[in-house]
Amino acid sequence: MVQKKEITSLEEIILLVDLFYGKVRSDDLLGHIFERLIKDNWEAHLKKMYKFWQTVLLAEHTYFGSPFAPHAKLPVQSAHFNRWKLLFFETVDENFMGEKAAEAKFRAEKMAEIFQLKIHHLQKTSQ
């Protein structure tokens, strides 16, 4: 069994992000959406995601991007977001414990909600 860790430093953030995108890449619903956009730039994408979660969870401000922008035109609906959340929650629960692990799930859920609302709105207004 995996020894669950507290998320306290960049080391655990890197582990969380690597494990999560490992699941995403081999997922039947989400894998191809990511592969089509990211192609062979996975290293850069993962580095960006380390910074994003480091900023969100550890308040170490290394991410300065616009999180929503690349999602605006994705061909995604609630099924995709449900799967994204399922894989994220699974990754957290299988490997981590404690306050930051709970916060990671909370923040992911809230951002997924906001992204979905925005995408829904954009899809409606562009019809």
Interacting residue ranges for ligand HEM, rule: CB under 6 A: 30, 33-34, 37-38, 45, 48, 52, 65-67, 70-71, 74, 76, 80-81, 84, 108, 111-112, 115
Shortest CA distance to 35 belongs to which of 20, 24, 46?
Answer: 24
Pick the closer one to ligand HEM by CB: 5 or 48: 48
Element (H, E) at 15: helix 10-25
Q: How far is the CB of 73 from ligand HEM (least distance, A)?
A: 10
CB of 1 to ligand HEM, least distance (A): 27
Min dist CB 67 to ligand HEM, Å, is 4
Q: Which residues, at least 6 apart from 91, have a Cβ–Cβ distance to it below 8 Å?
A: 16, 19, 20, 23
Spatial distance between the Cα atoms of 122 and 34, rounded to a whole number of angstroms = 20
Instruction: Rank residues 1 and 59 by Cβ distance to ligand HEM and give the closer one.
Output: 59
Q: Which residue is nearest to ligand HEM (CB)?
A: 65
Would you tell me how many other CB atoms lie within 10 Å of the CB of residue 70?
Answer: 13
